Amino acid sequence: MRFQYLAASLLTLALGTQGAKIPAEVGELNRRATSTSASSTTSSATSSSASSTKSADGSCSNGALTRSCWGNGYSIATDFDQKHPTTSQTVSYNLEITNTTCNPDGNGARTCLLINGQYPGPTITANWGDTLSITVKNSMQDNGTGIHWHGVRQLGSNEQDGVAGITECPIAPGDSKTYTFLCTQFGTSWYHSHFSAQYGDGVVGSIVINGPATANYDIDLGPYPVTDWYYRTAYQIEANTLTDLQSGAPGPNGDNILVNGTNKNAAGTTGSYSVTKITAGKKYRLRLINTSVDNDIRVSLDNHILEIMTTDFVPVKPAYNQTILLAVGQRYDVVITANQTAGNYWFRANVATDCQSANNGAGLAIFSYDTVTVANPTSTSYSFPSSCFEPTGLAPFWSQPVPSTSAFSNLDVGLTNGSVDTGAGLTVWGINNTSIDIQWDKPMRTYLQEGNTSYPVGENVINLPTEGVWTYWLIQEVSASPHIVHPIHLHGHDFFVLGSSGDNNQNPNTAPIVTFNPSSDPATLNWNTPIRRDTAILPQGGWLALAFYTNNPGAWLFHCHIAWHISEGLGLDFVEASGSIPAPSSAYSTTCSNWNKYYPTSYYKKDDSGI
Ligand SMILES: *[C@@H]1O[C@H](CO)[C@@H](O)[C@H](O)[C@H]1NC(C)=O
Ligand SMILES: *[C@@H]1O[C@H](CO)[C@@H](O)[C@H](O)[C@H]1NC(C)=O
Ligand SMILES: *[C@@H]1O[C@H](CO)[C@@H](O)[C@H](O)[C@H]1NC(C)=O
Ligand SMILES: *[C@@H]1O[C@H](CO)[C@@H](O)[C@H](O)[C@H]1NC(C)=O
Ligand SMILES: *[C@@H]1O[C@H](CO)[C@@H](O)[C@H](O)[C@H]1NC(C)=O
Ligand SMILES: *[C@@H]1O[C@H](CO)[C@@H](O)[C@H](O)[C@H]1NC(C)=O
Ligand SMILES: *[C@@H]1O[C@H](CO)[C@@H](O)[C@H](O)[C@H]1NC(C)=O
Ligand SMILES: *[C@@H]1O[C@H](CO)[C@@H](O)[C@H](O)[C@H]1NC(C)=O
Ligand SMILES: *[C@@H]1O[C@H](CO)[C@@H](O)[C@H](O)[C@H]1NC(C)=O
Ligand SMILES: *[C@@H]1O[C@H](CO)[C@@H](O)[C@H](O)[C@H]1NC(C)=O
Ligand SMILES: [Cu+2]
């Protein structure tokens, strides 16, 4: 549930020192984000720190002590917006979605929609510069589907973004679609269904794109997804949440938190913990991914400091923290040094009650040194912060200054009257006073192809006709709504997070609104070294200032990543440089005609925003 308020959590925890910053391990580049010349991005990076083992000179090769290198002239110093390898390798996957059951914490089997019969779905792995070709087959009886590759920029490939009603028609039962796109970025992400609340029933998996890194490590432990888990289906919870919203009540609590797809139930009586074996003296890369539908989660590994090296797909200068707050959709790649007394240690994934999240279970998993017998740890937790803020002290590896301005476009976030298919007059979420409500049978992409400006109001379109300009967005919570945290996600770009402000850990009904002041606040923003990522937290009752540069023509969804909120309308559709969007393929039309044959006689009908 989203607006849980716990007086107890107002108790200030002693924070103490949460670890200290160390110098970057590899050289640092300073470049302008607006640079368009490929040659200007490859100037040699110089080694700038005592702990550096090798400079990122682009000609060395990737290894345990040279993670900043990649090879063939590419390194961590390469700005992947400007330049990326093309390997000519195509990596193929088949994902088949079926309607079955699952029971990840042993509490009892429930209906699940799974990919290749497993939860989470298979990890998609490729190298930087590879082409991914992923065929998705819908083998469910009664739902359409479509897969979104979260955080993948889809440069020039808007049609592969997987958003039903915007970039494609849903894939009908029995039909398949092959998504093909180039991996221009590297790092960790995830994929999930963007068809209503479907991903909450299991249609999720991890993505790893191998590339250089800002910190060294010996062993890559791979993806480590953390998620809230419910014993009823996502469609049932979504319906409850909408009913609750009418009276201003929070939706249902989560029932558990799964770590790497598993956990014991809240009572500790069923299921099993994920166990990760480590060897003393080694450094491990762990790819943390928040695949929640609702709950913000804070993670830590007892006695072991986390060395953070990415925010989503964007490298940061290595920075240490004991705990990390993960909002839905966010990723942090960390390095863990196995330098403690050999033993068993708890990995903890606790719901962040200070972010108005609530869950009946706590996420636990075990890290076990390989010289001891695996057992339930007796280790003690770090003290967790009680403020719903993302880790501080992070700086991008490439400094990309954004030209400053005070000319922000305002996007109010709040409750509005329903235009979603839930029926008129319902209270739903909106942004810029409109609740998104897409059409499955005629996606925005079709309107653009027709040059048809009579698209429905429910597409909630903001046109950005001009390529090559900076755009500035001020996401502001307004008073006539519960004042809660929303994780805001943009497709097609990594946005620049210029700043945010808001309340912390207060009652959603009474927390004051903190309003952006356009005359004084712009001067307080981080214009020189903003963090870049694809998902950022809009603080409780507050504002979030973002910028992005229009360099990727397409129709890009911008939305709250809480599954219930986007189902209830908290999203809009940026139509960027519509004149330059590549024409849809013949496969696009086939998917639509198959869908339009299926839907008129389908058992279930659209009953939410559709995404
Ligand atoms: C999955 O199966 C259940 C039980 O048979 C059924 O109620 C549900 O409608 C099915 N869902 C989909 C998406 O096929
Ligand atoms: C999808 O299937 C679920 C049952 O698994 C059902 O509740 C929901 O209404 C279906 N939605 C659509 C649009 O088919
Ligand atoms: C996560 O689970 C997968 C599948 O069970 C396993 O292969 C992997 O090693 C686990 N990851 C970690 C970090 O333990
Ligand atoms: C995942 O995101 C949700 C929603 O923003 C958040 O409540 C939860 O704490 C996050 N989980 C982790 C592990 O950070
Ligand atoms: C273990 O490694 C961390 C860095 O990950 C460091 O901060 C800490 O001081 C080290 N502890 C010991 C006992 O060496
Ligand atoms: C760790 O993150 C918290 C916010 O969650 C922040 O308050 C603290 O300063 C960070 N510690 C360091 C060493 O940056
Ligand atoms: C918000 O919507 C209105 C139409 O209702 C539109 O005129 C305005 O441009 C939109 N705001 C932004 C920032 O685009
Ligand atoms: C919805 O519309 C009704 C009737 O027009 C109005 O009384 C109510 O205040 C509106 N609610 C919101 C949240 O705008
Ligand atoms: C949105 O609606 C609120 C009242 O609910 C109004 O104050 C505000 O001006 C509207 N914003 C736009 C952009 O129309
Ligand atoms: C625009 O879309 C509407 C709604 O589908 C349709 O009725 C109309 O014929 C379209 N116009 C053009 C010029 O294609
Ligand atoms: Cu939200």
Residues 359 and 245 in one domain: yes
CATH number reported for the structural domain that contains residue 383 in this entry: 2.60.40.420
For residue 58, the model assigns a pLDDT of 55
> Which backbone phi and psi does 469 adopt, to 5 degrees?
-130, 155
SS (H, E, C) 401-447: CCCCCCCCEEEEEEEEECCCCCCCCCEEEEECCECCCCCCCCCHHHH
Do residues 388 and 460 share a domain? Answer: no
- Per-position b or e across 178-187, b if 16+ CB within 10 A of its CB: ebbbbbbbbb
**What letter represents residue 505's amino acid?**
N
Maximum distance among all Cα pairs of the chain, rounded to whole angstroms: 67
Domain that holds residue 376: 216-398
Same domain, 348 and 461: no
Q: What's the pLDDT tens digit per position in 455-475?
A: 998 999 999 999 999 999 999
Kindly state whether residue 369 falls inside one of the protein's structural domains.
Answer: yes
Among 335, 369, 398, which residue terminates a domain? 398
469 with 345, same domain: the answer is no
385 shares a domain with 418 = no
Instruction: Quote the percentage of the chain above a pLDDT of 90.
Output: 63
pLDDT band, residue 13 (cuts 50/70/90) = very low
pLDDT at 416: 83
The atom number, within ligand 9, closest to the CA of 480 reads 5
pLDDT, position 123:
97
What's the pLDDT at 171?
98
Query: Does any domain span residue 158?
Result: no
Query: Which residues have CB under 8 Å from 593's CB, separation 6+?
Result: none
- Model pLDDT for residues 285-335, shown as the tens digit of each residue: 999 998 776 767 789 999 999 999 998 898 999 999 998 888 777 889 999
pLDDT digits (tens, 9 = 90+) for 516-552: 999 999 999 999 999 999 999 999 999 999 999 999 9
Report pLDDT for 482: 83
Q: Are residues 506 and 467 in the same domain?
A: yes
Give CA–CA dist 244/482, Å, rounded. Answer: 12
Q: What is the tens place of the pLDDT at every residue in 257-271?
A: 999 999 999 888 999
Check residue 207 and give its pLDDT.
Answer: 96
For residue 335, being part of any structural domain is answered with yes
Mean pLDDT, the chain, integer:
85
Does pLDDT of 364 surpass 70? yes
- Distance of alpha carbon 119 from alpha carbon 127, whole angstroms: 24
Take residue 359 and report the two structure tokens written for it.
Answer: 């869950």
Do residues 462 and 278 make contact, with C-beta atoms less than 8 angstroms apart?
A: no
> What backbone phi and psi angles, to 5 degrees, belong to 43?
-55, 150
CA angle (360 as vertex; 358, 361 as ends), nearest 5: 110
For residues 331 and 414, is the Cβ–Cβ distance under 8 A? no
CA atoms within 13 A on the CB side of 306: 24
Same domain, yes or no: 418 and 468: yes
Q: How is 41-73 classified by DSSP, letter by letter?
A: G-PPP---STT-SS---SSS---TT-TTEEETT
Cut 0.75: pTM above it:
yes
pLDDT in tens, 27-63: 333 222 222 222 222 223 322 222 333 345 556 789 9
From CA 152, how far away is CA 90, in angstroms rounded?
Answer: 16
pLDDT in the model for residue 351: 73
pLDDT of residue 589: 96
Which amino acid, 271?
G
Q: Could you tell me if residue 140 is inside a domain?
A: no
- pLDDT-derived band at 391 (thresholds 50, 70, 90) equals low
Q: Where are the alpha helices (DSSP H) in 420-562?
A: 444-450
Last residue of a domain, one of 334, 369, 398: 398
Only one residue has tokens 């356009």, namely 518
Q: Is 181 helix (H, G, I), strand (E, B) or coil?
A: strand
Average pLDDT score over residue span 155-166: 96
Return the closest-CA partner of residue 76 out of 183, 182, 187: 187
- The answer to whether the Cα torsion of 163, 167, 169, 172 is positive or negative is negative
Distance, C-alpha 547 to centroid of its chain:
18
Poorest-pLDDT segment among 24-38, 360-374, 464-478, 597-611: 24-38
Q: Are 296 and 327 in contact (CB under 8 A)?
A: yes
| The pairing of beta strand 486-490 with beta strand 554-560 | antiparallel
Confidence band, pLDDT 50/70/90 cuts, at residue 423: low
CA of 140 to the centre of ligand 2 (A): 10
Residue 200 phi/psi, 5° resolution? -65, -15
Confidence of residue 18 (pLDDT cuts 50, 70, 90): very low
User: Given the DSSP bridges, would you call strands 331-337 and 306-311 parallel, antiparallel or unpaired?
Assistant: antiparallel
Q: Which ligand is nearest to the CA of 460?
A: 7
Query: Is 191 part of any domain?
Result: no
pLDDT tops 80 at residue 373:
yes
In a domain, 253, yes or no: yes
Confidence of residue 254 (pLDDT cuts 50, 70, 90): confident
Residue that finishes a domain, picked among 366, 398, 430 = 398
- Whether ligand 6 lies within 6 angstroms of the CB of 16 is answered as no
CB 318 within 8 A of CB 25: yes
Amino acid identity of residue 150, one-letter, is H
Considering the domain architecture, whether residues 526 and 558 belong to the same structural domain is answered as yes
Q: Is residue 257 part of a domain?
A: yes
Region 120-132 average pLDDT: 97
511-516, long-range: CB < 8 A, 24+ apart: 511/483, 511/540, 511/541, 512/483, 512/541, 513/477, 513/478, 513/479, 513/483, 513/541, 513/542, 514/539, 514/541, 514/542, 514/543, 515/476, 515/543, 516/408, 516/474, 516/476, 516/543, 516/545
What is the count of structural domains for the chain?
2
Does 360 lie in the same domain as 455?
no
Residue among 254, 271, 252, 255 at smallest CA distance from 263: 271
Report the share of the chain in percent with pLDDT over 70. Answer: 86
Which residue of 417, 419, 420, 568 sits with most ligand 8 atoms within 8 Å of its CB, as the best mutation to test the pocket?
A: 417
Among 82-86, 118-122, 360-364, 515-519, where is mean pLDDT lowest?
A: 360-364
Mark the residues whose beta carbon lies below 5 A from ion ligand 11: 486, 560, 562, 565
Q: Looking at residue 387, what is its pLDDT?
A: 66
Is 169 domain-assigned? no
Mean pLDDT of 329-353: 90
**pLDDT score recorded for residue 28:** 31
| Nearest one of 329, 349, 319 to 533, comparing CA atoms | 329
Cβ neighbours, 10 Å, residue 569 = 29
Quick one: which atom of ligand 10 is closest to the CA of 442? 5
Q: How far is the CA of 418 from the centre of ligand 5 (A)?
A: 53
Out of 444, 445, 446, 450, mutate this one to test ligand 10's pocket (max ligand atoms within 8 Å of CB): namely 450
**Ligand 10 atom at minimal distance to the Cα of residue 455:** 2
Note the Cα 94 to chain centre separation in Å: 23
pLDDT at 523: 96
Ligand nearest to the Cα of 461, by number: 7
Q: Are residues 435 and 567 in the same domain?
A: yes
Rounded CA-CA distance 76/333 in Å is 15
Ligand 4 centre and the CA of 299: distance in Å? 9
Which tokens go with 77?
């110093």
Q: Indicate whether 293 and 352 sit together in one domain.
A: yes
Task: Please tell me if the CB atom of residue 412 comes closer than 6 angstroms to any atom of ligand 9.
Answer: yes
Q: CA-CA distance, 411 to 400, in Å (whole number)?
A: 24
* Cα–Cα distance, 173 to 58 (Å, whole number): 47
On whether both 451 and 521 belong to a single domain, the answer is yes
Question: Residue 600 phi/psi, 5° resolution?
Answer: -55, -30
568 contacts 608 by C-beta, under 8 angstroms: yes
Cβ–ligand 10 distance for 453 under 6 Å, the answer: no
Helix (H, G, I), strand (E, B) or coil at 91: strand
